[in-house]
């Protein structure tokens, strides 16, 4: 929240398009803003280590809601991360890019390894969703 306020003060606007100018002038501020946005949206998306809510939420939800959570809701976290990536300027610093890439790889592997051990179909769906988010992160943020 503080970073939005700083970007608002520096740009004089609440329009995200005006934030890009502020972040293009100060790459350190852009990297810090992106990392904080990545943590916030990573919780929504279910990246490891922010995934703890997902395997518990799927079994508690009705079946049709569990499907919607896997198919739509956690993907909005990916959309938010991509949106912040384009707001802060493309490409991010190598440190940020590799941090996101390593987080995505760990998420993909963690999801697969835990999905193999599941007998409850909804928890299996949750761990496969974590794996899917990791694969999307690998493809989207690969700095190569």
CA–CA separation, 35 and 80 (whole Å): 12
How do residues 21-74 score in pLDDT, each as one tens digit?
Answer: 777 777 888 888 888 888 889 988 889 888 888 888 888 888 888 888 788 888
Question: Is residue 18 pLDDT above 90, yes or no?
Answer: no
> What is the average per-residue pLDDT within 97-102?
88
What burial letters (b/e) apply to 123-141, b meaning 16+ CB within 10 Å? bbbbbbbbbbbbebbbeeb
Q: What is the model's pLDDT at position 142?
A: 67
Q: What is the model's pLDDT at position 28?
A: 83
Q: What is the model's pLDDT at position 143?
A: 58
């Amino acid at each position: 929240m503080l970073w939005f306020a700083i970007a608002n003060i520096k740009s004089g606007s609440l329009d995200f398009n005006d934030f890009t100018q502020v972040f293009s002038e100060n790459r350190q501020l852009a990297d810090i803003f992106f990392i904080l946005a990545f943590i916030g949206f990573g919780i929504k998306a279910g990246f490891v280590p922010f995934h703890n809510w997902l395997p518990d939420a799927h079994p508690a939800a009705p079946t049709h809601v569990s499907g919607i959570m896997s198919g739509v809701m956690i993907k909005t976290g990916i959309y938010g991360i991509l949106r912040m990536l384009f707001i802060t300027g493309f490409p991010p610093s190598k440190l940020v890019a590799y941090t996101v890439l390593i987080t995505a790889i760990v998420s993909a592997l963690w999801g697969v390894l835990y999905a193999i051990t599941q007998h409850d179909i909804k928890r299996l769906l949750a761990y496969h969703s974590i794996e899917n988010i990791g694969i999307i992160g690998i493809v989207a943020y690969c700095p190569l």
